[in-house]
Structure 1
């Protein structure tokens, strides 16, 4: 994969996590959030003084991630729940962590063309961009376990 394609996929993953978070906290529907990102967030300039747009996203990949998580959320959540420590429930996790895990779990289960290591590294990097504590390690362990479950 070319560097620009890799960057576009990374931006799509970040946007998918943001969209899933937004859907959870605001209740907005999947098609509305995809449309909002497509029309108002992708390829927009950073600010009025800056003429450079943000990195382009792989918009079809973004939409596939968001729709896929919503369409398969029950199975995805069950898979994640199996990887949580005893006594922990998915709803006890931070909403951003849930969004990261859900998107990563969907990608691992439904995109066999994406190597396991790539998917896990991308989502751990996303966790690092949001959290400085133990969350990135938790995301790594959970997605590693999920990968063994779905790609065995």
Structure 2
């Protein structure tokens, strides 16, 4: 994987972790961005199971993802909920799955410079790093449907 691609992949992982952290702890967007920038990048992220230093992250991309999801959350959540099974609510999903879907939906709807296939593949791979069950397939299907809605034509 090339350095810029790897830096974006690391930024996506960090964004998902930051969104999760914000949801479970209630910390604000600027505080969580500052924490990651000051303490987590170029170090191992707790819970990664490896303890190896993180590859360099695209920190500007990370901050854009986190701020973008928070700033567009109502729109993003509506795009995701529209594509969930009838009767399912976003709050029924695992918090990590919610963070993955929100980041992916943000990228699909606000970063048209990133190809749909790249966005979906990146977030499915992230889901695989957190889950061994049906979640990666669920993320794939949900983001594919969101992409059809937001990237039509």
- Whether TM-score is above 0.5 comes out as yes
Aligned length: 147
Write out aligned runs for 1:89-100 (5 A).
89-100=89-100
Q: For residues 52-71 of structure 1, what are the structure 2 equivalents within 5 Å? A: 53-71=53-71
- For 1:138 and 1:123, the matched residues in 2 are separated by 11
Mapped to 1, the partners of 2:38 and 2:126 lie a distance apart of 23
Secondary structure of the residue aligned to 1:85 is coil
Q: How far does residue 108 in structure 1 lie from its aligned partner after superposition?
A: 0.3
Corresponding residue for 1:104?
Answer: 104
Structural mapping, 1:37-52, within 5 Å: 37-44=36-43
Q: Distance in 2 between matches of 1:7 and 1:29?
A: 27
1:44 Cα shift? 2.4
1:113 CA displacement: 0.5
Runs of 4+ in 1 over 6 A off after TM superposition: none
Q: 1:90 to 1:45 in 2, by over 3 A?
A: closer
Deviation at 1:65, TM superposition (A): 0.2
Structure 2 gap segments, 5+ residues each: 46-51
1:28 alignment partner, SS class? coil
Paired with 2:44 and 2:140, the residues of 1 have a C-alpha distance of 33
User: Does the residue aligned with 2:86 lie in a helix, a strand or coil?
Assistant: coil
TM norm structure 1 = 0.93
Question: RMSD in angstroms over aligned alpha carbons?
Answer: 1.5
Post-superposition shift, 1:53?
3.6
Gaps of 5+ in 1: 47-51
CA shift for structure 1 position 54: 2.0
